[in-house]
Chain A
């Protein structure tokens, strides 16, 4: 994902390989979360009353705020990819920098939420709803951290002058990955916070 393959010569083949590779990888990520979504469906059917009463304990304001933060970060990524397609490496670095920053904001808000919940005695082992909540948001949070690391690495590469309008495969695929992280959250918000 991070560098062109050692041989094959043809950058077009390398780009197509990287893209197919990332889409395949995203399929595995969908399945990783898919198991948890399945568990959510199973237990929601089994305990509708519990899910209704427990979801009220989550902080909807912070959840919505975080959604706005992530969507904005996705916009920044898209603008960054657009910038490098036009060959503007400095602009790409700025936009990706903003994304990483927004990722950090997201994590801080999440931290506040979790602390609040711990104070109210809500832990991963409290009941099945909070097991799901902490596993899903936790796994998603790990992906945010990974995504921030990858984007930072892309910025470092860009500072070394590795990308141009002609070659920017790592920018494209890392951008795609960030969109995926955003997308998962878009599903988490209604499932956990909104529907009771």
Chain B
């Protein structure tokens, strides 16, 4: 297909709020999700900065312990439920899944729109719960969550709604990927982002109902006094933890698999090489989704499960590292002898690999029974999941935003400012979170507003790092705004990539493709066409 120049406004041509609020165009719904989730990223980030501010001194200084509890709960709950889980799947996924497979839209456009508004309803309920804000941490563990004065039932209902939206989105994607692929788009010609999203959707569909009913039970415990988690009436608080982590651990892979998909797109484009081990990367996504369901118990080593159960969960936890490592080694093999260029998407993709590797390699310390008992609920855990979640998912998200910005907006970014922002983010991130590994090994527990004076230096360093990180992210988004307003028009395919979304104008028309595309090759054939070899 001929490359087309992007001078028109494509799917953005129609104006006015109605053209957005009632749209069934997957691209517009994706954009609405992006704006919404990024807003929560900022709110959650502000809470994080407030926490770091409080930790500048060993004694509680700026706000009370209760306020501190509320802030870390809101930081965690917003970042997880309202940003990291929906941002890539619902935002970028909605936008790019149909474009990637050569479809005009998702399978159920109305359900797609409905799922966005259910999501909005969910976060409005979450906001309504702020009248007496949560102080339980984002895990809502019983029995405390059944007793605290906070609006647990309201927040549970909000998260129930957000979960429903997540189920509908996942369902829509599964059907779309199965039924609406363009002629010639066989499973082994799918972009790896699609494989990542497909695996993600399976987890969303299978795991989310369980957390839905768990939050429902928690709400009922508070409203009607049902006895599921109350030991006084024969219930079991550990059952809550099982249900909660049966969802929440697989959801870690909902957070990471789409980001891995983005990295698999970006790496070959900026190395100008066919991706190494296409099938291995594709199947490892499915393997991660599957094994991810079997490891939830490693969150509960200290909750009094049987030693045998602990040992099994520990083993399975190590096992999930195998498909993850397969991906990382394949990316590195793709880079090998490639002609690599360091545009901003590539910088974030490489950052993903580096930070995710650090996060991944610190995983075994927590997955192993013996060291877990020592490190449980210390800052080591905080550092570990920020390296995987923020260093992984959020960097993958940034890579995707930079990579697809020209396609989504029809404008080019200022590359120089993007790289400055990247440098600040990279330095700020490592200063903030690497310090937490150290202070965690030394024994500082998480979720405390006050700490022993011997941890003071590390905490000051960490707070300085968080300020650098915040400046970096601010610069990045100012660059996005500037690009949106004044960026030069983007060509259809600025990165000279081969996947389908780049073969339409930037921004794409409402119908995506002028004529139905026919696919004749896989999307990674730089120099070596005709399908994956392994």
Residues of A within 8 A of B (CB): 1-3, 5-8, 13, 16-17, 20-21, 24-25, 27-29, 31-36, 39, 42-43, 46-47, 50, 123-128, 131, 134-135, 139
Contacts and interface: CB of A to CB of B under 8 A. Distances in A.
Interface string B403-441: 000000000000000000000000000000000000000
B234 A43 contact: yes
A167 B217 CA distance: 41
B175 interface: yes
Contacts of A31: 206-207, 209-210
A6 B105 contact: yes
Contact of B228 (A1, A27, A39): A39
B108 A8 contact: no
A32 B213 contact: yes
A55 B328 CA distance: 55
Contacts of A3: 110
Nearest to A24: B171
B206 A28 contact: yes
A35 B214 contact: yes
B174 interface: yes
A3 B220 CA distance: 34
B178 A20 contact: yes
Interface string B200-237: 00000111111011101100100011111000011110
Contacts of B180: 8, 13, 17
Contacts of B243: 35
A35 B225 contact: no
Contacts of B517: none
Interface in B75-101: none
Contact of A8 (B104, B167, B213, B214): B104
A125 B225 contact: yes
A61 B212 CA distance: 33
B111 interface: yes
Contacts of A1: 108, 111
B127 interface: no
B220 A124 contact: yes
Contacts of A16: 179
Given A3-B110, A17-B107, A27-B206, 16 more contacts: A5-B105, A7-B104, A17-B179, A20-B174, A20-B175, A20-B179, A24-B174, A24-B205, A27-B205, A28-B167, A28-B206, A34-B209, A34-B210, A125-B226, A126-B227, A134-B224
B159 to A, nearest CB: 15
B174 A47 contact: no
B24 interface: yes
A67 to B, nearest CB: 24
Contacts of B217: 135
A7 B511 CA distance: 9
A194 to B, nearest CB: 22
Contacts of A50: 234
A149 B234 CA distance: 37
B39 interface: no
B171 A128 contact: no
B174 A17 contact: no
B234 A5 contact: no
B239 interface: yes
Contacts of A21: 107-108, 111, 171-172, 175
A21 B172 CA distance: 7
B213 A124 contact: no
Contacts of B363: none
Pick the 9 closest A-B CB pairs, nearest first: A125-B225, A131-B226, A32-B209, A31-B209, A128-B234, A124-B224, A35-B213, A17-B107, A131-B227
B196 to A, nearest CB: 18
Contacts of A20: 174-175, 178-179
A20 B171 CA distance: 9
Contacts of A123: 224-225
A8 B111 CA distance: 16
A36 B226 contact: no
Contacts of B206: 27-28, 31
Given A8-B180, A28-B205, A125 B234 contact: no
A40 to B, nearest CB: 11
Interface string B172-186: 101100111000000
Contacts of B277: none
B109 interface: yes
17 contacts: A1-B111, A5-B105, A6-B105, A8-B103, A13-B179, A20-B178, A21-B172, A21-B175, A27-B206, A42-B236, A42-B239, A46-B234, A128-B228, A128-B234, A128-B235, A131-B233, A135-B220
